[in-house]
Each structure stands twice: as C-alpha cells, then as structure tokens.
C-alpha cells in the first residue's frame, strides 16, 4: 500500500488491497521496472481499479527516469473513479507539482482542496494526507511570497508534530524574511536539533531536492543569522564543520562521473550550504585569523561547487585581505 511519509511513531498505512500485494512487494524492494510492468498488466485487466492506478502513478513518480506525464495521466484516471480519495488527491497534487509551471496552479488547487477537507474524525489515512497537504501547500505559499499563509499552515503542521524538522526549518526561513530574527534563531536552532530526532518513514511525499541536505542548510542558515546578529564566535562554531564538509565535497567531485537519471519526485537539490566557506572566512576575519581566512577564500574561489558569483567575490576578498 501507499505508505505516507510520517515519523515512524505514527506512520499511517492506508487500507491495502490484497490483490495488489505482489506488486506492492516489488515497490517496497524498489524494483521499479518489474513493479511498473506488474501494475500495468493489472490495470490492463482491471481498468477501473483506482488503487492500482494510484500505485502505477506513484511508481512512475518514484522510479529513476520515470515519466511524470504518464504518472499524471494514471492519477487523473484514478481521481475520476474516486475523486475524494485523500491519498489519490495528494498523489495527484504531487504529480501536478512536479509538472512545472504548466500544472503548478492545478497542484495548488488540489492541495488546497485537501486542506479544506480537513483531517476528519477517526480516519488516520485522511488525517495523514491532510497533514502532508498542509505542508506542501505552505511551501507553495512561501514561494509565491504569501508568508503569512505559509506560516499559518506550518504552525498547524508543528502543532500536530512538534519535532517536524522540515517545518521548523521553513518557519526559520520565513521569520528571516519577515525580519523577526529572534524567532528565526529559535526556529533554526529547533530545526538543527529536530533533524537528529525526526525523520519521515518515507521521503517521497516531501520535495526531496529541497530537503536532501536539510541538516546542512539549517545549520548554514543559522550560522548566517548569527553573523547578522553580531555573534561571530557562535557563527564560526556552526559554520566551521559545514565549511570543511564542503571542502571534502569539492575534492570528491573532481572527475566525478555523470549522475544517473533522477526520479520525477527528486527535483534539483538545494545546495545553498556549499557557500559556507565564504561566510566561515568572514568569521575568521572577525576573530583576527586573517591568514586562515585568506586560505579559505582562495580555496573556495577555486572550487567547482557553490555560487559562481560568490566564488568570484571570494577571490577579490582574499586579495583585499592580503
């Protein structure tokens, strides 16, 4: 069955279909080609089976090189059969979301419909789907600049799940944008702590590119925030391990083979933390460790990772510090 991504202490397993068990075992083992073939044959024999159509759509979304258009078509077919199925609504919204600008509005519409539906009573599957929809709808509001709506939805998420690392991270970013640095620090510190305490049982319902490096990004944003508030020593302590990790990544990336195809749900990874050496160098300058700062800046400027313009700025900054 479609296992919604929630912490393992209250993960929800939707009502299963015994007739789909064989295909679901293939999904659990991530044998995507065989799973796709199995569900395709099943749907061919049972074209009105909404559960099988949803599974087939999810396989396309999760498998490397999956066809997001085909996934959307399967999930739209399932939605026509069972329009108010909360799992189906969530999956269809995800399919629209990964479809890009052309289907972004539809994704927002379906997420909002699911949010408006509410968790209901004595229906853990619906409650789980609504919980996830609130989070994903909040991200859309955040990207559109509707920070108040995003914050309202995320507060509902952490109200139900206080250790939700992704939600506390986003609340920290929103607080920074709204100029509430005290709240931002509180949320980002919680995010850094929560990443070690909380993990979804499955990651696919969340934007994986955005959260593939949430631990590093939360610490990076916290370090930058501490710099803004003049707490340079604390910022240095936070940024130093990330900066060193980035150096290791830069060395490992030299001559690296072309990455394999991604699943539609994976997305482009958020690698903002790769800029950590630049900011770490500034904390070294503040501590009077100018020679070390110059070395870090020069090294960063030669890397093939991190923001290109910032690497150029690092080169100029190193020259000025000499």
DSSP state of 20: G
Distance (Å) of CA 286 to CA 7, 221, 240, 281: 41, 18, 14, 9
Residues 81-122 have pLDDT tens digits of: 999 999 999 999 999 999 999 999 999 999 999 999 999 988
6-141 maps to CATH 3.40.50.300:
no
Task: Give the model's pLDDT for residue 13.
Answer: 35
Q: What is the DSSP string of 98-165?
A: HT-HHHHHHHHHHHHHHHHH---SS-HHHHHHHHHHHHHHHHHHHHTT-HHHHHHHHHHHHHH-TT-H
- What separation, in Å, do the N-terminal and C-terminal C-alpha atoms of the chain show? 62
Separation between Cα atoms, residue 287 and residue 98, nearest integer Å? 45
- Nearest-Å Rg of the Cα atoms of the chain is 22
Place of tokens 């503040």: 286
Task: Give the model's pLDDT for residue 301.
Answer: 97
Separation between Cα atoms, residue 13 and residue 87, nearest integer Å? 11
Task: Give the model's pLDDT for residue 250.
Answer: 93
DSSP state of 234: H
Helices (H), the chain: 21-28, 32-45, 50-62, 68-81, 86-98, 101-117, 124-143, 147-160, 165-177, 181-197, 208-211, 214-228, 232-253, 276-286, 290-302, 308-321
Task: Give the model's pLDDT for residue 253.
Answer: 79
Distance (Å) of CA 250 to CA 218, 223, 255, 275, 312: 20, 21, 10, 12, 16
- Please report, for the chain, the start and end positions of each structural domain, with discontinuous segments joined by +: 6-141
Task: Give the model's pLDDT for residue 1.
Answer: 38
Q: What pLDDT band is residue 17 in, cutting at 50, 70 and 90?
A: confident
User: How high is the mean pLDDT of the chain?
Assistant: 92
Task: Give the model's pLDDT for residue 3.
Answer: 39
pTM for this structure? 0.91
Predicted confidence (pLDDT) at residue 268 exceeds the cutoff of 60: yes
Distance (Å) of CA 194 to CA 143, 185, 240: 23, 14, 20
């Amino acid at each position: 069955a479609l296992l919604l991504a929630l912490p393992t202490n209250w993960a929800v397993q939707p009502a299963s279909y015994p007739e789909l068990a064989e295909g679901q075992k293939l999904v659990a083992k991530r044998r995507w080609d065989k799973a796709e073939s199995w569900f395709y044959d099943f749907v061919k024999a049972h074209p009105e089976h909404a559960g099988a159509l949803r599974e087939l759509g999810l396989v396309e979304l999760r498998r490397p090189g999956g066809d997001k258009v085909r996934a959307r078509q399967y999930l739209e077919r399932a939605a026509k059969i069972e329009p108010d199925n909360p799992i189906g609504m969530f999956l269809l919204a995800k399919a629209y979301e990964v479809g890009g600008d052309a289907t972004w509005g539809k994704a927002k519409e379906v997420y909002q419909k699911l949010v408006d539906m509410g968790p209901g009573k004595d229906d853990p599957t619906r409650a789980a789907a609504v919980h996830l929809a609130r989070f994903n709808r909040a991200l859309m509001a955040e990207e559109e600049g509707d920070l108040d709506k995003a914050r309202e939805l995320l507060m509902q998420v952490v109200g139900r799940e206080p250790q939700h690392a992704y939600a506390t991270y986003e609340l920290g970013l929103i607080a920074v944008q709204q100029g509430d640095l005290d709240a931002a620090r509180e949320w980002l510190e919680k995010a850094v702590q929560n990443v070690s305490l909380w993990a979804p049982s499955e990651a696919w319902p969340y934007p994986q590119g955005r959260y593939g490096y949430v631990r590093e990004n939360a610490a990076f944003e916290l370090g930058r925030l501490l710099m803004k508030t003049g707490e340079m020593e604390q910022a240095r302590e936070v940024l130093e391990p990330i900066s060193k990790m980035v150096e290791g990544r830069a060395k490992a990336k030299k001559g690296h083979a072309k990455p394999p195809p991604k699943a539609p749900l994976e997305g482009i990874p958020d690698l903002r933390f790769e800029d950590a050496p630049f900011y770490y160098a500034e904390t070294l300058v503040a501590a009077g460790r100018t020679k070390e700062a110059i070395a870090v800046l020069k090294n960063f400027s030669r890397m093939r990772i991190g923001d290109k313009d910032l690497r150029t700025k690092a080169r100029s900054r190193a020259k000025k510090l000499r």
